[in-house]
A and B are shown apart, each in its own frame.
Chain A
Amino acid sequence: MTEAEIRQVISDALVYAAVPLFAESAEQADFVAGQRDVRLDEFEIDSLATMELCIAIELNLGVEIVPGDLTKIATLGDIVALAQGRVNVEAGQ
């Protein structure tokens, strides 16, 4: 699983959760392209959207991140790094 694929999973999850203003935004496009990071407080990501994000990560990446893991996370890039780390552990890398 590449970093680009993880970015796409996270982006799709936030669109699926209908986080206001995220879909079709410049921030979304730049994040997926790996050209910029996005602070979580730039968007209204409520507790339900956080649950949806964690569910999507588990379904698509096969690693478990729960909402409690994200309480000290500041950016989407941090979530990518967390997910990538767990994917690597699962893969024994």
Chain B
Amino acid sequence: MNLLDLYNARIADANSLNEVSQMHIVFANSLTPTEILFLHGNLFAGSKHKAPKLSPLCRFTLPQLQEAGRLWIDQHRAMLAEIGKPRIELYRRYELHDAVVLFSTDRKTPRRNLVISLTGANQRLMMPISGYLQNFDGKTTDILYVRDSSRQGYRGGIPKLADDMVEIGPALTELIDLTPYRQIVTVGVSAGGLPGLVMALRLGLDATLVCGGSSPERGQFDETGGPKLAGRLREWRQASLHTRVVVGYGAQDDKDESAAADIAHCVAGAEVERIALDGVEVKHNFIYKLSATGLLPAFMSDRLGLTDEDRAGG
């Protein structure tokens, strides 16, 4: 089924504009940059798109749907344009599990780098997945998207994959062979920040970027009577001193600044980075601000070591 048919099929089930919004949110957590480009050129674009049949119970008109649909896809296309790359990254989607998706330009030939990405609110990486992917180089980098599918901030792990946050990393190694990759890193945003850090240290990965992560002192991963996460982070760090740890926070977010300091207190050698932009307020969602100003590709590449040294002969 092509994307326009899928869109029309979903619309046929929608009775209100809020249900259309729900559908758009689900699409935004799934569509690749090329799919966004396709929809931008075709969604409600005259004869290219046969108008969907509306449900007899629906409370919106076709013009209202067209307006909402065009606004949604125009915003996504604009987000990709803001990143400022001359080309669209050609990622494809490979579902490995209900909560785990590999985005790669060619799964049969793993790229040099693997970025394991753990989500925050709304199972997002602080932006629609298409925007996140567009910030990487598909020729060198695969993205493993690990959704917080229970929406509990990974507390209790991931249903049908790992019963505990700490066990997510080892469980992922059963889903994907990591050995072909030269550089394996994690990016954890918001509620995914600490789980990404834990995964990187436990698996001895090359680097981790924590974006607006929570403080380990908040105790959301501490079990009553069990060991505290802060203490366990110190232990894991001793076993993984080579892992580069970067903890970023928005310059105008006092709470995230405090949390970053708490993380650094537990993880020796962590680099705390204050993200500031001239004339722009940078709070919790700093990676979107960097993306919208075209700065995120270089930021990710530098902090995570996403080089292209194989192709460059290095």
Contact = CB atoms under 8 A, between A and B. Distances in A.
A21 B255 contact: yes
A87 interface: no
A48 B59 CA distance: 22
Nearest to A18: B121
A11 to B, nearest CB: 15
Given A18-B190, A18-B191, A51 B121 contact: no
Contact of A67 (B21, B253, B285): B21
Contacts of B21: 51, 54-55, 66-67
B22 to A, nearest CB: 6
A92 interface: no
Contacts of B292: none
Interface residues of A, number: 18
A67 B64 CA distance: 13
Given A18-B190, A44-B284, A51-B25, A58 B120 contact: no
- Name the interface size band of chain B: 20 to 34
A17 interface: yes
B17 A66 contact: yes
A58 B122 contact: no
B8 interface: no
SS class of chain B's interface: helix, strand, loop or mixed? Answer: helix
Contacts of B16: 58, 64
B97 interface: no
Which of A19, A44, A54, A66 counts the most chain B CB atoms within 10 A?
A66
B18 A64 contact: yes
Interface of B: 16-19, 21-22, 24-25, 59, 120-122, 124, 151, 190-191, 212, 253, 255, 283-285
25 contacts: A17-B122, A20-B190, A20-B212, A20-B283, A20-B284, A20-B285, A21-B284, A44-B283, A44-B284, A48-B122, A48-B124, A49-B121, A51-B21, A51-B22, A51-B24, A52-B25, A52-B122, A54-B18, A54-B21, A55-B22, A58-B16, A58-B18, A64-B17, A64-B59, A66-B18
Given A20-B255, A44-B285, A58-B19, 14 more contacts: A18-B121, A20-B253, A20-B283, A48-B124, A49-B121, A51-B22, A51-B24, A54-B21, A55-B18, A55-B21, A55-B22, A64-B16, A64-B18, A66-B21
Interface of A: 16-21, 44, 46, 48-49, 51-52, 54-55, 58, 64, 66-67
8 tightest A-B contacts by CB? A18-B121, A20-B284, A51-B21, A58-B18, A55-B18, A66-B17, A54-B18, A64-B16
